[in-house]
Amino acid sequence: MSKQNKNSLSELFGMLFGKHWPVWVGGILLGLLNIILFSIKSPWGASGGITNLGDNLFSLLGMFPGKEVTAVTSSNYGMLVVLIVFGSFAGALFSKEFALRVPPKGEMIKGVIGGALMAVGATVGIGCSIGSFFSGVPALSGGALVFSFAMFAGVIVSLKYLIWEMEKFPKWSTGKSYTFLAAAPEKGRWQIIAGTIVLICVIVIAYTYTDTNPVMSWFIIIATLMGLISQRSRFCIVKSFRDPFMSGESHGTVGVIAGLAVSLIGFTAIKYFSIGDISEVSQRARELTWVFPNFWGKALIGGFIFGLGMTVAGGCAVGTLWRVGEGQIKLWFSLLGLVIFSPVSNKYIVPFVDGILPQSSRFRSYLPDYIGYDGAFLLITLILIVWYVFVKWNERTGKFSAF
């Protein structure tokens, strides 16, 4: 390879990993990858894969006997969750940003509590900040809209609590913190080498499925890219809800809006034209993909609890996963809370909630059934425009920042 080509590759590598990407770039790329996932099989989701990890853990421990458990290596969404972490890990290594960051004990406790609340919210509401928001809203689900507004309310309530906690009990989350394996700017070549090894491993894993399960191969590659993109762009849904009311910044929100807008176009086309499944028998099933039986009660309860949890944890579903890959120990505890409490909530809490809610508050609500595809598309577009205008106005005026 010539010196000029080496310099060109070095320049490209520096552009990709020398600094963080704009969040809107990450949002657009994640939206495009989400469309590809849907065209292959079904959209992006995290809570199902996390529950699968929990089911496997409890099965290994001999708990909940009799429950049929799918091995992680055979679960598209179980592998999706694992490979998002791998992708983030690779991105952090290539940018020399990986380090084990150990926060004060109070923050780790809040990580577990936040993860547990997210687990309850996701299982009750049938989806998380990805499945019932980032994918559910473009899927034209009425339940996803309820979940999203309820999740926003949960974020606001939780944010008010955290501000109160910092004022009244600052010692709860202060104390010694530690950092290990951080790379100095001029050193840390081992991280780039480790990142290369991680990507090679991913390619090998994806290749092993090409003959037996090509869909899994695609999920593995796309999940790795999603993890890397999320880490490089700092894509996080709790940030998009929280920051306008704290610092007034709208960058995270604009990135999420961009991803939703891109997904909305692709998802609507896939559903309207039944792309990926053109048989008349399954056309309705294609339309109802990612439209869960959670309207309106389950979405309202689950979304609110999930919003509380992700704010306390400091990371939503995707934010938790890519921060785990980056080495942030608080989010390791958050993921632990998610993994442990998701199966527990499915077994005990979800049946209780289903038992007290009438059937009329937990059914599939598909917006085009009521207002047509044009009306549903325009409704979601209008919500995104209003959201964008509000956060940009608030960024200029600070009217709603820091309450």
Residue 403 predicted with pLDDT over 60 = no
The average confidence (pLDDT) of the chain is: 94
Cα-based distances in Å from 65 to 68, 72, 173, 316: 9, 18, 38, 31
pLDDT band per the 50, 70, 90 thresholds, residue 10: confident
Q: Is the pLDDT of residue 173 over 90?
A: no
Amino acid at 48: G
What is the spatial distance between Cα 281 and Cα 401, in angstroms, rounded to a whole number?
Answer: 51
Residue closest to 122 by CA, chosen among 365, 390, 301:
301
Report residue 4's pLDDT band, with 50, 70 and 90 as the boundaries.
Answer: low
Q: Please give the pLDDT value at position 6.
A: 67
Q: What is the pLDDT of residue 58?
A: 96
Residue 295's H or E segment, with its range, is strand 293-296
Position 244 scores a pLDDT of 95
pLDDT mean over 150-177: 93
75: left (phi over 0), alpha (psi -120 to 50) or beta: beta
Residue 178 to residue 99: CA distance in whole angstroms: 10
The vertex-219 CA angle with 100 and 97, nearest 5°, equals: 20
Dmax (CA) for the chain in angstroms is 70
Pairwise CA distance, residues 157 & 6, whole Å: 52
User: Which residues on adjacent β-strands are paired with residue 316?
Assistant: none
Q: What sign does the CA torsion over 36, 231, 107, 245 have?
A: negative
pLDDT at res. 3: 63
In this prediction, what percent of the chain has a pLDDT beyond 90? 88
**Local confidence band at 1 (pLDDT 50, 70, 90 cut-offs):** low
CA distance 98 to 91: 9
pLDDT category at 357 given cuts 50, 70, 90 is very high
- Checking if the pLDDT of 210 tops 70, the result is yes
Query: Which residues have C-beta within 8 Å of that of residue 165, sequence separation ≥ 6?
Result: 172, 173
Q: Are strands 100-102 and 178-180 parallel, antiparallel or unpaired?
A: antiparallel
Residues 6+ apart with CB under 8 A from 203: none
User: Tens of pLDDT along 251-298?
Assistant: 999 999 999 999 999 999 999 998 875 555 478 889 999 999 999 999
Q: What values do phi and psi take at 227, rounded to 5?
A: -65, -45
**Residue 376, number of CB atoms within 10 A of its CB:** 21
Look at residue 184 in the predicted model and tell me its pLDDT.
81
Closest C-alpha to 244, from 396, 64, 17? 396
Q: Is the peptide bond before 322 cis (omega within 30 degrees of 0)?
A: no
Task: Say how far apart CA 21 and CA 94 lie, in whole Å.
Answer: 14
Confidence of residue 67 (pLDDT cuts 50, 70, 90): confident
pLDDT number for residue 186:
77
Local confidence band at 401 (pLDDT 50, 70, 90 cut-offs) = confident
C-alpha of 82 from chain center: 13
Q: What is the mean pLDDT of residues 361-373?
A: 96
143-146 long-range contacts, CB within 8 A, separation 24+:
143/291, 143/292, 143/293, 143/294, 143/295, 143/296, 143/298, 143/299, 143/364, 143/365, 144/290, 144/291, 144/292, 144/299, 145/367, 145/383, 146/294, 146/295, 146/296, 146/299, 146/300, 146/303
pLDDT confidence of residue 30: 98
Q: What is the mean pLDDT of residues 96-112?
A: 96
Q: What does the pLDDT average to over 187-201?
A: 95
pLDDT tens, position by position, 40-52: 999 999 999 999 9
Distance CA 169, CA 162 (A): 10
Check pLDDT > 60 for residue 112.
yes
